[in-house]
Amino acid sequence: MTDFTATKAMFDLPEGVIYLDGNSLGPLPRAARDRVGAMMQDEWGQMLITGWNKAGWMAKPKALGDRIGRLIGAEPGHVVMGDTLSIKVYQAVASALELNPGRKVVLSDNGNFPTDLYMASGLLKSLGPDYELRVVDPEAVEDAITDEIAVLMITEVDYRTGRKHDMKALTDKAHAHGVMTVWDLAHSAGALSVDLAGCGADFAVGCTYKYLNGGPGAPAFIYVAPRHAEHVRPALSGWLGHEAPFAFDLDYRPGHGIDRMRVGTPPVIQLTALEAAMDIWDMADMASVRAKSIELCDLFIAEVEAQCPQLELASPRDPAFRGSQVSFKFDEGYAAMQALIDRGVIGDFRAPDIMRFGFTPLYIDEGDVRAAAEIVTDVMTNALWDRPEYMVRHAVT
Amino acid sequence: MTDFTATKAMFDLPEGVIYLDGNSLGPLPRAARDRVGAMMQDEWGQMLITGWNKAGWMAKPKALGDRIGRLIGAEPGHVVMGDTLSIKVYQAVASALELNPGRKVVLSDNGNFPTDLYMASGLLKSLGPDYELRVVDPEAVEDAITDEIAVLMITEVDYRTGRKHDMKALTDKAHAHGVMTVWDLAHSAGALSVDLAGCGADFAVGCTYKYLNGGPGAPAFIYVAPRHAEHVRPALSGWLGHEAPFAFDLDYRPGHGIDRMRVGTPPVIQLTALEAAMDIWDMADMASVRAKSIELCDLFIAEVEAQCPQLELASPRDPAFRGSQVSFKFDEGYAAMQALIDRGVIGDFRAPDIMRFGFTPLYIDEGDVRAAAEIVTDVMTNALWDRPEYMVRHAVT
């Protein structure tokens, strides 16, 4: 069991704020600032270039990969950190295509986060006119898996609605048709129980600034199933994926296993901030996090639906088909979210009409959920959103 | 003129160390730790998700790009930060190829840093068997530029010897033959005067953890000439390169100008550390940095050659053909470098026999150079390197 009182105390949360946007950017772990400060002063400052060995900088991407790997059911030694999620999607899809020669269709759905579609589309254009990115409705994915498909590229949890795909069922069907799978865990890692090994997933990728609380611009991770690890030819073949980076050979020879998915020099300062976040995650087990997340989401849905008939639930009601967020539709959702933020309830808005609330048991408890629901009720019942300054949309929300 | 006494005081340099490896990892700016700490506490901690707008996180990649742009002769608004140098090389070469349809050969030289060759080679393999990476000796590059070449991909300064290519002459010849140019400025930015606009360079890329002192894993930069900025189709088409990232469209439409070379979420903590370094660079002009660098390099060569006949100069003697480093060949160079590091002179070693010393006027002065040369003389004259513990090579140096 996870001691959620203990984990909550390890975050630095602003006074007067109920933060329901940890699905977009997780809050600051209390230890992160000092840890990063010490790394900068004692390692970068004093060890200088020797920090790569002496302070273990070069080993951080795999060490952190394993700590995240525990949360997503990966075999030890098969997850590595680096780059951004966009880059890791590209790497995974390109590598998966290579493992499935002769097929030229990548299947995804229109609930996927757009950058996954953009990166895959750009990749396929570069490979030639025979390649196709086929995008269907989320509900149509299962039927669209055929012997024609090379790679199934799916984000497990929809970033807008929280709708959750069945990883095991889709992976099984994919494999029955000779299809490689790439799972994007952006809204899964740290949000719900993921069992990559148990599902037989081929590739997985994810980011660490949402539920994992690594900080703005924290690096991404990539998983390659052990059965592929020594066969995959990395699409972005950088020097740190080389078998012997410091031999400075002119020809590329892939490193062993997941090491070959490394590309360039790792972002040591960001990785150090992420370590402080993973110290908290090391105290948690995903089964209890998931159970608590479902309790919190169900409670929020019940409270809001009882008081706010204007809000229509946009997330699946059955928690088995939902991630760790709750979304409501409301035509004036943008203004309503601004009104909520003004009153200390931070969620976010996704066009055209989605109000999104993330529930993160490491630092959000039942008291927070009840208090947030009361403020939502006040804003909706009294139409507090109906003020001109709440209607002005910013370029970035 | 740059006040080098003032800039030196702005770095936190360890006691008893003469740091001649700033060409590999620059030292810690004194202000960096507090600046990063404040960003973490006041922005990430207190603003949470709203930091993307309120604290200007989203704008940092272009704001920092312009500050670096000044040092490399780029037009304002045409440099953006992100990813690693390996990724930016890939993006630049792929984009340059697209602008030169019908040609299929990328020309480079064997003095290039290996990751550039690895990334280009991986890219070309993915494009098909007709594509070729042609790697010649550095001295043979000019003659190898023909109408057959699509892209000339060159690192201006050789990471081992400091040998410097003539950017203007090679770019002119390239353009005369319809060849696009990609310049890697890893050992140029902050090391010497670069005039991208004056040379008519098409693309340039570089890293910021060497001469620019951004810290371990600091992000890379990319430049696209204004004449190409609205025509280039970005090879790695991520959501932050989209015309309207927060519209979450399913289809990719490139953003305007250099914005389209952005890919994923920027590493805000690393960018904040880099800001502290750029505050120092803002006080410097490259003409005086270059003049001082040549003085320091020439002084070191003169002192070492006068005292250490065992060391053979591996760098060009004429500063016009040299970057901001001095390399010597010595069969027992690995052991000799370990002996130097033990005595507080930190340079580095590159196989098979190169001892490398970087000269960085922002924090290295003539006194440091004379003191370092004396220690080199002591180590060489008295064969202080000839001890078993100095012979043991580590995996990473």
Q: What is the DSSP string of B174-241?
A: HHHTT-EEEEE-TTTTTTS---HHHHT-SEEEE-SSSTT---TT--EEEEE-HHHHTT---SS--GGG
Q: Which two tokens stand for residue A93?
A: 């899809």
Residues of B in contact with A24 (CB under 8 A): 49
Active site residue A210: yes
Per-residue pLDDT band for B394 (boundaries 50, 70, 90) equals: low
Q: Please give the pLDDT value at position A11.
A: 98
Residues of B in contact with A247 (CB under 8 A): 351
Longest dimension (CA), chain B: 69
Name every residue whose Cβ is closer than 8 Å to that of residue A48 and which is 6 or more positions away in sequence: B14, B17, B19, B21, B25, B27, B346
Give the mean pLDDT of chain B. Answer: 96
CB A223 within 8 A of CB A69: yes
Which of A51, A122, A271 has the CB atom closest to B237's CB atom?
A122
Number of A/B CB contacts below 8 angstroms equals 276
pLDDT of chain A, 397 residues: tens digit per residue: 899 999 999 999 999 999 999 999 999 999 999 999 999 999 999 999 999 999 999 999 999 999 999 999 999 999 999 999 999 999 999 999 999 999 999 999 999 999 999 999 999 999 999 999 999 999 999 999 999 999 999 999 999 999 999 999 999 999 999 999 999 999 999 999 999 999 999 999 999 999 999 999 999 999 999 999 999 988 899 999 999 998 899 999 999 999 999 999 999 999 999 999 999 999 999 999 999 999 999 999 999 999 999 999 999 999 999 999 999 999 999 999 999 999 999 999 998 999 999 999 999 999 999 999 999 999 999 999 999 999 887 544 3
Q: With CA atoms as reference, report the closest residue to B301 among B327, B336, B340, B332.
A: B327
Q: Is A272 annotated as a binding residue?
A: no
Q: Please give the pLDDT value at position B391.
A: 87
Question: Which residues, listed in sequence order, are joined to residue A19 by a DSSP beta bridge?
Answer: A346
Residues of A in contact with B217 (CB under 8 A): 57, 265-271
- Measured between CA atoms, how close is A90 to chain B, in angstroms? 8
Question: By the CB < 8 Å criterion, does B264 face chain A?
Answer: yes
Q: Which two tokens stand for residue B378?
A: 């002591």
CB A73 within 8 A of CB B56: no
Q: If residue B358 lies in a helix (H) or strand (E), which one and from where to where?
A: strand B354-358
Q: Please give the pLDDT value at position B234.
A: 86
CA distances for B391 relative to A346, B134, B372, angstroms: 58, 36, 21
> Can you tell me the distance from the alpha carbon of A72 to that of A381, in angstroms, rounded to the nearest whole number?
41
Contact A264 B220 (CB under 8 A): yes
Which of A44, A236, A268 has the CB atom closest to B87's CB atom?
A236
CB B113 within 8 A of CB B210: no
Question: By the CB < 8 Å criterion, does A338 face chain B?
Answer: no
CA B362, distance to chain mean position in Å, is 16
| pLDDT tens-digit series, residues B35-62 | 999 999 999 999 999 999 999 999 999 9
Which of A24, A57, A118 has the CB atom closest to B242's CB atom?
A118
Contact A28 B49 (CB under 8 A): no
Contact A250 B40 (CB under 8 A): no
Q: Is A113 annotated as a binding residue?
A: yes
Q: Please give the pLDDT value at position B288.
A: 98
Q: Is A109 annotated as a binding residue?
A: no
B351 has pLDDT over 90:
no
> Can you tell me the distance from the alpha carbon of A218 to that of B267, in angstroms, rounded to the nearest whole number?
6
Query: What residues of B are annotated to the active site?
Result: 113, 184, 209-210, 356
Crossing angle of helices A60-71 and A268-281, in 10° steps, is 30
- Measured between CA atoms, how close is A159 to chain B, in angstroms? 11
Q: Which two tokens stand for residue B122?
A: 């991986």
Architecture of domain A4-28+285-391: Alpha-Beta Complex (3.90)
B4-29+285-391 folds as Aspartate Aminotransferase, domain 1 (3.90.1150)
CB B29 within 8 A of CB A41: no
Q: In what order do the strands lie in the sheet with B348-350?
A: B312-313, B325-329, B354-358, B348-350
| pLDDT tens-digit series, residues B120-164 | 999 999 999 999 999 999 999 999 999 999 999 999 999 999 999
Q: Please give the pLDDT value at position A235.
A: 87
Mean pLDDT of B160-189: 98
Q: Please give the pLDDT value at position A351.
A: 87
Structural domain boundaries of chain A? 4-28+285-391, 32-281
List the CATH code of the domain at A32-281: 3.40.640.10
Name every residue whose Cβ is closer than 8 Å to that of residue A302 and which is 6 or more positions away in sequence: none
| pLDDT tens-digit series, residues B200-228 | 999 999 999 999 999 999 999 999 999 99
Name every residue whose Cβ is closer than 8 Å to that of residue A300 and which is 6 or more positions away in sequence: A326, A357, A359, A369, A372, A373
Which of A21, A49, A208, A212 is the best substitution to test chain B (most B C-beta atoms within 10 A)?
A49
Which of B37, B58, B264 has the CB atom closest to A37's CB atom?
B37
Which of B41, B64, B118 is the best substitution to test chain A (most A C-beta atoms within 10 A)?
B118
Q: Please give the pLDDT value at position A395.
A: 47
Name every residue whose Cβ is closer than 8 Å to that of residue B326 and which is 6 or more positions away in sequence: B162, B297, B300, B301, B313, B315, B356, B357, B359
Q: Which member of A4, A90, A131, A209 is catalytic?
A: A209
Contact A85 B264 (CB under 8 A): yes
> Can you tell me the distance from the alpha carbon of A293 to that of A192, in angstroms, rounded to the nearest whole number?
8
Q: Which two tokens stand for residue A280?
A: 């908290």
Q: If residue B16 lies in a helix (H) or strand (E), which one and from where to where?
A: none
Q: Is A150 helix (H, G, I), strand (E, B) or coil?
A: strand
Q: Has the ipTM of the complex gone over 0.95? A: yes
Residues of B in contact with A266 (CB under 8 A): 216-217
Residues of A in contact with B261 (CB under 8 A): none
> Can you tell me the distance from the alpha carbon of B124 to that of B133, in angstroms, rounded to the nearest whole number?
7
Q: Which two tokens stand for residue A335?
A: 């203004």
Active site residue A356: yes
> Can you tell me the distance from the alpha carbon of A117 to that of A215, in angstroms, rounded to the nearest whole number?
24
> Can you tell me the distance from the alpha carbon of B83 to that of A144, in angstroms, rounded to the nearest whole number?
34
